[in-house]
Amino acid sequence: MNDFSYSRPTTTTEAIQTLLSHPDALYLAGGTNVIDHLKLGVVTPSQLVDIRHLGLDKISTDAQSVTIGAGATNSAAAYHHEIQTHFPALAEAILAGASPQLRNVATTGGNLLQKTRCTYFRDIHSACNKRQPGSGCAALEGFNRSHAILGTSDACIATHPSDMAVALTALEAVIHIQDQSVVRTVPIEAFYVSYGEDPAKENVLKPGDLIVAIEIPRTAWAGHSRYVKARDRSSYEFALASAAVAVDVDAGKIRNCRIALGGVATKPWRAHAAEAALVGQSATPVAFRAAAEAELASAKAQKENGFKIELCKRVMVKALQEAAEMRRA
């Protein structure tokens, strides 16, 4: 681990200014991802800027939305009554990730920014365009059973690891980001960027930017939402395929729906093709399967992860069935 200095600012403005004065500094919140990377040598910051004491841990509600402070722990969000009642897919997604001990420490903002668990990214001796742009992608010809089938490029096939971000994408959350002068809002789908030829750039954050909150709108479908996750073991494991869905069903017909996929893409994947295929259709397994087929038509398998295509379809169908049953209950 490299030597670094530590600072503990007392305001968000001070935190941003500190980071800007040290271009290779990093924010430190729960530290569940950053500390791992420090130990592995994946990141070598000159300074850690501790943002745990800036009052960003509040969860507030009103008639239009629920707002989760970026410093709120995963556990606080998962067990919040309003979130469990009105945004069940989010609570389910959070509880499907990591372990209780990690959820008690990990923060909402940190969850959105966590890095891929690709073996080659975490091994500083392997080629990885995400860690070292221009070095290549060892996963393309290496062990790629857990890698992405959607949104990939010749530069990177790593999956985004978050469960929470998948649910937030289906729920159309908005991210509040503070810079030196203002707080701006960015829809979560626009927050993450496609890898293309620059997989090291994962989101729209600029130097010094600080996520301060995530706002989730109350919609007709958010309360009828589910998160389904398939993985190799039942706890403390990342998704092979997951789906967060929210549906608005009236008289057996789908009036509106939102679908996002995890474990299969380079970012939380909004399933627009599946959504378009479902609107106006009967809420039946046949319609759900047709929507899944439409979404996965563009999937590109690697030599060891072709099974993910069928797995993802089944996960999506199961999530849609469960969400539709919630609406009828």
Is residue 328 over pLDDT 60? no
Q: Is 107 helix (H, G, I), strand (E, B) or coil?
A: strand
CATH class of the 225-328 domain in this structure: alpha beta
Average pLDDT over residues 65-88: 98
Give percent of the chain with pLDDT exceeding 90.
Answer: 95
pTM of the predicted model over 0.85: yes
CA–CA dist 85, 61 (Å, integer) = 12
Q: What is the pLDDT of residues 10-64, one digit of tens each?
A: 999 999 999 999 989 999 999 999 999 999 999 999 999 999 999 999 999 999 9
Show me where the domains of the chain are located. 1-54, 225-328
Is residue 327 over pLDDT 80? no
CA–CA dist 181, 256 (Å, integer) = 38
Beta-bridge mates of residue 177:
184, 211
Report the interhelical angle of 307-328 vs 285-296 (nearest 10°): 140
For 1-54, CATH number?
Answer: 3.30.43.10
Q: Are 36 and 78 in contact (CB under 8 A)?
A: no
pLDDT band at 197 (very low <50, low <70, confident <90, very high): confident
Residue 267 DSSP one-character state: S
